Amino acid sequence: MKKFLEILVLIFLFSGNLLAGDSLKNMELTKDTGFGDLYGKSLTGNYYKDYGMQIVNKADDHPVRLGQESIRFEVQPGDCGADDPKHGDWSDCKEDRERHELAGRYMKNGSTWWYAWSIYFPEDHINVFPTSAAYGQFHQSGSFPLFMFKERENGYWLSVTIRNDHTDESIEVLDDKDMRGKWNDILVNVKWSHKKNGFFKLWANGKLIYELQGQTKSKGTEAYFKFGLYRTYMSRWLESKKNINKSNGVPGQIVYFDEIRKVNECNKLKINELGYSCDDLTSQKKETKKDRLIKTLKKRILKKIMLEATEDKRKDVENWIEKQITKWSKKSNFADELFDSKSLKDKRDEFIKKGIKKFK
């Protein structure tokens, strides 16, 4: 039965006419890799390479989160997606993009869902920032992405773009040092709404990372989940200092997914198999935007100062940063500066400069 499902997946995957949303053909993951949704190529053209998406086996030395199978995605230079001319005219090559990813079904306005997936980056994974590499996203029909899980220079981040096609907020999900050579578990509880009654909650490895109360999509659209590997703006890497050898293409990348699950109630996720409980997840206290900004600020200041300071000074640097932030928080214009991106950047640079001078 399992082999039959694998064959079914590959037949639909390479058929060249799969659409995200209601027109999606009946293509399921194997029972070993996930449940709860149907998937197809995120674009409709016949562009998938043989290595683009594969269901692989533990017996062949591939990493798996549970069971015997996982899903392997690979993108190499020039792996551009495209729409079948009958369904659209999008071309990744013309838009400085590359991809191999799958897209699920549309979710109606007002519906509530639980999602889970596990992600694995190989030990030799190459970070291609400033090219934007997305490993999972919640998109919406006929409009811009809503929540994108991207790799930035220092880790795996969530980019939130609810009200326009520019980033409203960025939240660190995983630090760079925690990404390679291990499985990380992501869980999401979301209510899709263009009104104030929506919400989006994100856990990483059982810890509540982010919570949004309010609008989660645009009016008149339907959200859907995409996962795999999607790269945008290859030109940024090619023109950056990272391209030491003046290569004509961004380095290839591989990522694994497993246990991709979608249900309408937490207890149906079977997350006890992953080592978590719904009671523990739902009882966790949310972190406010103010707390998130301060935590991220401290982390970035510490990282920059420690590039110039010796490791034995780390604790002193941490204590100094804490005192500086506390002192700043007592000023009358603290909130204005904290929530204004330009003012926050200026303040961060000010602290970094002072810190380097003090501890270098």
Give per-residue pLDDT as tens, 192-208: 999 999 999 999 999 99
pLDDT at 130: 95
* Pairwise pLDDT comparison (11 vs 51), residue with the higher score: 51
| DSSP states of 100-131 | EEEE---B-TT-EEEEEEEEEB-TT----TTS
> In the prediction, which pLDDT does 9 show?
44
pLDDT at residue 330, rounded to an integer: 92
- What was the pLDDT predicted at 13? 41
Please determine, for residue 269, whether its predicted confidence score (pLDDT) is greater than 80.
yes
Q: What's the pLDDT score for residue 47?
A: 81
Residue 223 sits at φ, ψ, to 5 deg, of -85, 155
| Reported confidence tier of residue 27, pLDDT bands at 50, 70, 90 | low
Query: Which of 59, 64, 61, 56 shows the shortest CA–CA distance to 6?
Result: 56
Q: Is the pLDDT of residue 87 over 50?
A: yes
For residue 165, name the pLDDT band (cuts at 50, 70, 90): low
Amino acid (one-letter) located at 40: G
Query: What is the C-alpha to C-alpha distance for residues 97 and 296, in angstroms, rounded to an integer?
Result: 29
> What does the alpha-carbon distance between residue 31 and residue 12 come to, in Å, rounded to a whole number?
16
The per-residue pLDDT for range 89-113, each reduced to its tens digit, is 888 889 999 999 999 999 999 999 9
Q: What is the pTM of this model?
A: 0.75
- Which candidate, 110, 331, 92, 262, places its Cα nearest to that of 199? 110
pLDDT, mean of residues 223-249: 93
Residues 334 and 343 sit within 8 Å (Cβ to Cβ):
no
Predicted pLDDT at 149? 97
Query: Is residue 310 pLDDT above 70, yes or no?
Result: yes
The CA-based angle 115-120-125, given to 5 degrees, is 140
Lowest mean per-residue pLDDT among 10-14, 40-44, 346-350: 10-14
Q: Would you state the pLDDT for residue 28?
A: 66
11 pLDDT higher than 50: no
Share of the chain above pLDDT 70, in %: 91
The pLDDT score that the predictor gives to residue 166 is 63
pLDDT at 4 over 80: no
pLDDT at residue number 312: 94
C-alpha 174/C-alpha 81 separation (Å) is 28
Rounded mean pLDDT, 130-134: 95
Where are the extended beta strands (E) located within the chain?
A: 34-35, 40-41, 53-57, 69-75, 97-103, 112-120, 132-140, 147-152, 155-160, 169-175, 183-191, 199-204, 207-213, 223-232, 253-263
| Average model confidence (pLDDT) across the chain | 88
Alpha carbon 153 to its chain centroid, in Å, reads 13
| pLDDT recorded at residue 22 | 35
